[in-house]
């Protein structure tokens, strides 16, 4: 554009020279023609000046645009340099933090290794303690076995000696056919009646005055129910020490509910009779409890 403007200026200068030459050549022309010519020259100068001014404004506008673009590029470069500096600073900070974390992890790992080493030592020590403890447990178990044997011997002695005159606590095995006193304390004593079948009487307490009576051939064997051929079991009170009353059905209270199932047990009909093994049933019932007027133990 600057080059075009120069050409226009040169062209304007040439035209002016031409007109000036023409003015000199036609100096003798009429004054009217000269005035008209001067007016045209003036108008042409004004046009050229306006054109030059227009081109100058465009050039200035373009220059301002270029300056703006250059400033934007400079600002962008400055921002990139600032971001680069911030990135480098952040990178250094992250590297520093990572180094600190690695140091902490190394310290924790070392502490953990010390703990593992301590646990290994503790395992060895506990292993030795386990051996001592196992030996102690074996000794305790051996002692408990011996103590159990002593207790059994003592119980057997107590039953053999004391059960002739009193009731002795003893956890015997018994029939579960009919028993309202399940869960109660158990006692036994030797039978004071002459019998070829039974040797021991066992009771399980509902209370001191209500209990279930069982009979057995030995204290280690099964204690069975007693069935009654004649009555509801009132004469069974004789096995716990009751005497024959004038009216046994009124003197002693027994469970009189009926059961239609059956089981094996000892059977008899009347007081003082011996017993035999038979079928306990609806026709030869056994009570679920007895109240014989005797307090046990």
pLDDT at 178 over 90: no
Higher-pLDDT residue of 170 and 56 is: 170
Q: What CA–CA distance (Å, rounded) separates 30 from 34?
A: 7
Residue 297 preceded by cis peptide, ω within 30: yes
Contact 152, 172 (CB under 8 A): no
pLDDT at 273 over 70: yes
The 10s digit of each residue's pLDDT in 66-124 is: 677 667 666 666 666 665 566 566 667 766 776 777 788 778 777 777 776 776 666 66
pLDDT at 180 over 70: yes
Q: Is 11 part of a structural domain of the chain?
A: yes
Higher-pLDDT residue of 1 and 109 is: 109
pLDDT value at position 157?
62
Residue 266 DSSP one-character state: E
Q: Of 86, 112, 144, which closes a domain?
A: 86
In terms of Cα–Cα distance, which of 231, 170, 155 is closest to 201?
Answer: 170
Q: Of 48, 65, 86, which closes a domain?
A: 86
Q: Is 76 part of a structural domain of the chain?
A: yes
* Overall domain count for the chain: 2
Q: Of 86, 113, 138, which closes a domain?
A: 86
Q: Is 41 part of a structural domain of the chain?
A: yes
Q: To the nearest whole percent, how much of the chain has pLDDT over 90? A: 24
CA angle 281, 285, 286 (to 5 degrees): 120
Contact 218, 160 (CB under 8 A): no
Q: What is the dihedral sign for C-alpha 148, 149, 155, 159? A: positive
In terms of Cα–Cα distance, which of 178, 175, 174, 207 is closest to 188?
Answer: 174
Q: CA–CA distance from 67 to each of 2, 72, 76 (Å)?
A: 18, 9, 14
pLDDT at 171 over 60: yes
The 10s digit of each residue's pLDDT in 274-295 is: 899 999 988 888 999 999 889 9
pLDDT at 3 over 60: no
pLDDT value at position 262?
87
pTM: 0.49
Q: What CA–CA distance (Å, rounded) separates 241 from 238?
A: 5
The 10s digit of each residue's pLDDT in 39-73 is: 665 666 666 665 555 556 666 676 777 677 667 66
Residue 273, domain extent: 168-291
pLDDT value at position 289?
92
Q: Is 212 part of a structural domain of the chain?
A: yes
Q: What CA–CA distance (Å, rounded) separates 209 from 188?
A: 15
pLDDT at 203 over 90: yes
Q: To the nearest whole percent, how much of the chain has pLDDT over 70? A: 55
Q: Is 95 part of a structural domain of the chain?
A: no
Q: Is 106 part of a structural domain of the chain?
A: no
pLDDT value at position 117?
77
Q: Is 158 part of a structural domain of the chain?
A: no
In terms of Cα–Cα distance, which of 258, 279, 255 is closest to 267?
Answer: 279
Pair 80, 176 in one domain: no
Pair 73, 178 in one domain: no
pLDDT at 254 over 80: no
Pair 180, 75 in one domain: no
pLDDT at 33 over 90: no
Q: Is 101 part of a structural domain of the chain?
A: no
């Amino acid at each position: 554009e600057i080059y075009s403007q120069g050409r226009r200026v040169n062209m304007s200068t040439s035209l002016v020279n031409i007109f000036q030459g023409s003015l000199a050549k036609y100096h003798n022309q009429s004054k009217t023609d000269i005035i008209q010519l001067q007016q045209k020259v003036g108008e042409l100068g004004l046009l050229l000046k306006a054109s030059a001014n227009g081109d100058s404004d465009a050039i200035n506008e373009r220059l301002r645009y270029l300056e703006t673009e250059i400033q934007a590029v400079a600002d962008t470069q400055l921002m990139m340099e600032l971001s680069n500096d911030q990135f480098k600073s952040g990178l250094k900070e992250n590297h520093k933090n990572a180094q600190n974390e690695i140091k902490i992890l190394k310290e924790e790992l070392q502490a953990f290794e010390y703990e593992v080493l301590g646990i290994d030592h503790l395992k060895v020590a506990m292993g030795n303690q386990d051996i001592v403890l196992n030996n102690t447990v074996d000794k305790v178990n051996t002692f408990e076995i011996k103590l159990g044997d002593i207790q059994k011997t003592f119980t057997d002695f107590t039953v053999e000696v004391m059960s002739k005159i009193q009731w002795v606590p003893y956890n015997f095995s018994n029939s579960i056919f009919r028993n309202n006193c399940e869960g109660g304390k158990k006692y036994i004593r030797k039978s004071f009646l002459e019998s070829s079948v039974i040797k021991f009487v066992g009771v399980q307490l509902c209370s001191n005055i209500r209990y279930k009576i069982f009979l057995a051939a030995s204290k280690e064997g099964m204690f069975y129910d007693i069935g009654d051929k004649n009555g509801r079991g009132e004469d069974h009170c004789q096995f716990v020490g009751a005497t024959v009353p004038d009216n046994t059905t009124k003197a002693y209270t027994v469970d009189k509910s009926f059961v239609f199932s059956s089981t094996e047990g000892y059977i008899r009909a009347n007081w003082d009779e011996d017993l035999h093994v038979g079928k306990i049933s609806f026709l030869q019932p056994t009570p679920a409890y007895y109240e014989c007027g005797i307090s046990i133990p």
